[in-house]
Amino acid sequence: MFDFTPETMLLSALTDMFDQMGITWSSIVLHLINLVILTVGLYLLLFKPVKKMIRERQEKVKKIEKENADLNEEVKELKNSTQQVLSEAKKEAAAIHENAVKVANQKAGDIMGDAKARAKALIERTETEMDEERKKLQSDVEKQIADVSLAVAEKVIGRDISKADNRRLIEESLKEWSEKEND
């Protein structure tokens, strides 16, 4: 009795082909066992170390990435810090500038005030000196006028005073002195 299902036919064809190529089922099994042993050997000797190495490299890469991220974060922080420092420096510079301007304005005001006060004092002193000079001049002129007037009067009196006038003056003086002493 013959079974002519496609599977048996394929198996028969394969057997024929193996026979023609000199391959037997036992050699296939042996090859399979070799393959298994080779696979296990490769797994143990090569795959595991490679896997371990890859894992280590991955961890290393992760570590480097983490370090990189940390560095980036640090750089970012440094950048922020630098920005903050710059901002603070700018603010400080602006405050210093403002203060300097304020101080300069104050000093300018003080100098102006001092100059004004000095000018005022100078004007007052000059006016006082001028006033004193004017009064002195006026006094001198008055004195000179008085001196000239009296010099003229002396000359006129010395020339024009008569004997009678002189006698009358003497009489009046004697009378005045007597009356004063009697009082």
Residue 36 has a CB neighbour count (10 Å cut-off) of 10
List % helix, strand, coil for the chain (3-state, nearest 5).
95, 0, 5
Which ranges of 22-47 would DSSP assign to H, the alpha helix?
25-42
Interior angle at CA 30, CA 28 and CA 34, nearest 5: 115
Contact between 165 and other proteins by CB under 8 A: the answer reads yes
Contact between 157 and other proteins by CB under 8 A: the answer reads yes
State how far the Cα of 59 lies from the Cα of 52, in Å rounded to an integer.
10
Out of 1, 20, 26, 158, the residue judged to bind other proteins by CB under 8 A: 158
Number of residues that bind other proteins (CB under 8 A): 25
Out of 6, 63, 142, 179, the residue judged to bind other proteins by CB under 8 A: 142
Considering the complex, state which of residue 65 and residue 154 has its C-beta at the smaller distance from other proteins. 154
Per-residue binder mask for other proteins (CB under 8 A), 85-124, x = binder: ----------------------------------------
Tell which phi-psi region holds residue 141, choosing left (phi > 0), alpha (psi between -120 and 50) or beta.
alpha
Judged by the rule CB under 8 A, the positions of this chain that interact with other proteins are: 142-143, 145-147, 149-150, 153-154, 157-158, 161, 163, 165-167, 169-174, 176-178
